[in-house]
Amino acid sequence: MVAKYSRRSVLLATVIAALGCGGSGLPETVSVTGTVTYQGNPVSDAQVVLNSTDPKGKPATGATDAQGKFTVQTYVSPTAQAKGAIPGQYKVTVTKIEQSKQSSEEMMKAASSGQPAMPKNLLPKKYSVESSTDLTADVKKGMGPLSFALTD
């Protein structure tokens, strides 16, 4: 009986050690914060996406607050997000979608009629497409906040 508990204890200790020593399984990231302005004014409620230029890289995303400030996190899996971005080069896209003024019932009616209202981006289109944006970020340890001043 003692040997049975000892084996279980050793097995349990091994599993705990493997899980504990292996780290979180999340990639090494760097804290990334920044500000988005358009025509000199802070952009609130915008989606900021850092698209890695490395084909094996992962995107990092954040949303701006009322002052246009954002902090990004990296999507790792459906159940895991890592704070910050993986060090590397990024093309940055920024979009701000107009909030619908339709009621839920009106949206359902429009969708069922085959004529749903398309969401409207309130920022210049070039910033919302990875191939046309001129916004970039070089993510590395010790970096300061990013600043994106959007223009027409």
Please write the tens of the pLDDT for every residue from 35-90.
Answer: 999 999 999 999 999 999 999 999 999 999 999 999 999 998 889 899 999 999 99
Instruction: State which fold the 26-150 domain adopts.
Output: Immunoglobulin-like (2.60.40)
- By the 10 Å C-beta count (0-12 exposed, 13-18 middle, 19+ buried), 34 is classed as buried
Residue 59: how many CB atoms within 10 A of its CB? Answer: 17
Q: Show the CA angle centred on residue 85, arms to residues 79 and 86, nearest 5°.
A: 100
Residues 6+ apart with CB under 8 A from 123: 38, 43, 46, 94, 95, 96, 150
Is the whole model's pTM more than 0.85, yes or no?
Answer: no
Q: Show the CA angle centred on residue 138, arms to residues 136 and 140, nearest 5°.
A: 155
Tokens of 50: 């850092």
pLDDT level of residue 93 (50, 70, 90 thresholds): very high
Give the C-alpha separation, 48 to 150, whole Å. 12
Predicted pLDDT at 19: 43
Three-state SS at 140: coil
Which CA distances in Å does 97 have to 32, 48, 92, 130, 137?
Answer: 23, 12, 17, 17, 23
Give me the chain's average pLDDT, please.
85
